[in-house]
């Protein structure tokens, strides 16, 4: 799949933003006033920035409101509904925390649930696609949810759970890569089933339908950069999980150093997740590539 920057930025930032909103909704940390203001600016900035970025790849962004109508069948529509719901509920909760010095617990819980639901629905947009076996696995929602929770815990400064969530997210990432590498073969789809000619012999793409490229090849057959996949996986794993874990577990003296280390952990995690998300797209093989003798 073509790793479109808009979608990588969207899933990375909004995942982190909604992860932070989840923890804020649970009252972790239970902030009010100016401190709350800073937390909510970061959370809403990430979540909304990501959502805005996602509209950049639309052919007609001015019609985006229509995407809220088909929640009965479409995960993309459900994501839109959950995202707007989460932002409204958490917006009200934030007003209470920032200006009225109060924590409306029930509202916070609803907002937290909607934030997590947004991340889940995002993941299901990818998971539902049988055409991309590497995404069509239970581990895909696990990746999105565990990354979001780990990032949210890091940003929220939830010291008790952050190391555990980071470790879980790292493990999920490794499992996703291991299983994903075998997904296309395990799906049973190949040029033989694609053409229906597989039981007659070995099928080979002899001649493409056209000499130039097309939308399908540009969108679904991305092979540039796959050769660096193993190195990028190392970078994604170290920056995303190993280094942040090291940074928050290292015992340090002084509040300034502690905050500096926490900030570094967040930046490192963000860079790692962005790298992982790039791989998520670039390594995903769409079965339509088979028709062109590619993957």
Partner 1 sequence: MTQLPNSTDRKMGLVIDLDTCVGCHACVISCKGWNTENYGAPLSDQNPYGGDPSGTFLNRVHSYEVQPEQGHAQLIHFPKSCLHCEDAPCVTVCPTGASYKRVEDGIVLVNEDHCIGCGLCAWSCPYGARELDLAEGVMKKCTLCVDRIYNENLPEVDRIPSCVRTCPAGARHFGDLGDPDSDVSKLVAERGGMDLMPEMGTKPVNKYLPPRPKDTIEEEIDILAPLLAPVAEEPQGFMGWLDKALDKLPGGAN
Q: Where on the chain is the footprint of partner 1 (CB under 8 A)?
A: 1, 57-61, 63-64, 66-70, 72-77, 80, 125, 128-132, 187-189, 191, 193-197, 200-210, 212-216, 219-220, 286-288, 291-292
Q: In the complex with partner 1, which residue's Cβ is closer, 201 or 251?
A: 201
Backbone angles phi, psi at 142, to 5 degrees: -60, -40
Strands (DSSP E) found in 33-74: none
Give the nearest distance from C-beta 180 to partner 1 in angstroms: 17
Give the nearest distance from C-beta 9 to partner 1 in angstroms: 16
Output Rg (C-alpha) for the chain, integer angstroms: 21
Give the nearest distance from C-beta 109 to partner 1 in angstroms: 28
Give the nearest distance from C-beta 51 to partner 1 in angstroms: 13
> Using CB atoms within 10 A of its CB, is residue 46 exposed (0-12), middle (13-18) or buried (19+)?
buried
Q: In the complex with partner 1, which residue's Cβ is closer, 103 or 189?
A: 189
Buried b (16+ CB within 10 A) or exposed e, 192-202: bebeeeeeeee
Q: In the complex with partner 1, which residue's Cβ is closer, 52 or 161?
A: 52
Q: Is 105 helix (H, G, I), strand (E, B) or coil?
A: helix
Assigned token pair, 255:
């509040």
C-alpha separations of 227 from 139, 140, 213, 218, 282 in Å: 24, 23, 21, 18, 11
Give the nearest distance from C-beta 84 to partner 1 in angstroms: 13
Q: In the complex with partner 1, which residue's Cβ is closer, 44 or 292?
A: 292
Long-range contacts of 267-271 (CB under 8 A, 24+ apart): 268/239, 268/240, 268/243, 268/244, 269/150, 269/151, 269/154, 269/166, 269/239, 269/240, 269/241, 269/244, 270/12, 270/16, 270/151, 271/239, 271/240
Give the nearest distance from C-beta 215 to partner 1 in angstroms: 4
Q: In the complex with partner 1, which residue's Cβ is closer, 34 or 73?
A: 73
Q: In the complex with partner 1, which residue's Cβ is closer, 81 or 110?
A: 81
Give the nearest distance from C-beta 22 to partner 1 in angstroms: 24
Q: In the complex with partner 1, which residue's Cβ is closer, 196 or 254?
A: 196
What count of other Cβ atoms lies within 10 Å of the Cβ of residue 188? 9
Give the nearest distance from C-beta 2 to partner 1 in angstroms: 10
Q: In the complex with partner 1, which residue's Cβ is closer, 134 or 269?
A: 134
Query: Is the CB of residue 15 less than 8 Å from the CB of residue 144?
Result: yes
C-alpha separations of 11 from 6, 125, 141 in Å: 9, 11, 12
């Amino acid at each position: 799949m073509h790793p479109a920057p808009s979608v990588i930025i969207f899933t990375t930032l909004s995942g982190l933003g909604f992860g932070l909103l989840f923890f804020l909704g649970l009252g972790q940390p239970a902030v009010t006033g100016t401190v709350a203001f800073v937390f909510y600016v970061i959370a809403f900035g990430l979540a909304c920035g990501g959502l805005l970025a996602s509209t950049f790849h639309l052919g007609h962004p001015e019609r985006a409101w229509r995407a809220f109508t088909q929640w009965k069948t479409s995960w993309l529509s459900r994501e839109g509904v959950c995202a707007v719901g989460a932002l409204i509920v958490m917006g009200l909760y934030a007003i209470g925390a920032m200006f009225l010095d109060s924590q409306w617990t029930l509202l916070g819980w609803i907002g937290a649930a909607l934030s997590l639901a947004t991340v889940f629905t995002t993941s299901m947009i990818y998971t539902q696609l049988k055409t991309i076996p590497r995404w069509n696995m239970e581990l895909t929602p696990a990746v999105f949810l565990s990354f979001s929770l780990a990032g949210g815990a890091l940003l929220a400064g939830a010291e008790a759970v952050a190391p555990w969530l980071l470790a879980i997210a790292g493990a999920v990432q490794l499992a996703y890569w291991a299983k994903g590498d075998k997904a296309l073969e395990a799906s049973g789809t190949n040029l033989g089933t694609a053409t229906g000619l597989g039981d007659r012999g070995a099928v080979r793409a002899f001649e493409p339908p056209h000499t130039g490229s097309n939308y399908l090849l540009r969108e679904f057959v991305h092979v540039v950069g796959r050769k660096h996949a193993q190195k990028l996986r190392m970078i994604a794993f170290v920056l995303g999980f190993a280094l942040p874990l090291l940074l928050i577990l290292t015992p340090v003296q002084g509040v300034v150093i502690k905050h500096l280390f926490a900030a570094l952990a967040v930046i490192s995690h963000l860079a790692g997740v962005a790298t992982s998300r790039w791989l998520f797209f670039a390594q995903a093989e769409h079965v339509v590539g088979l028709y062109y003798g590619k993957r």
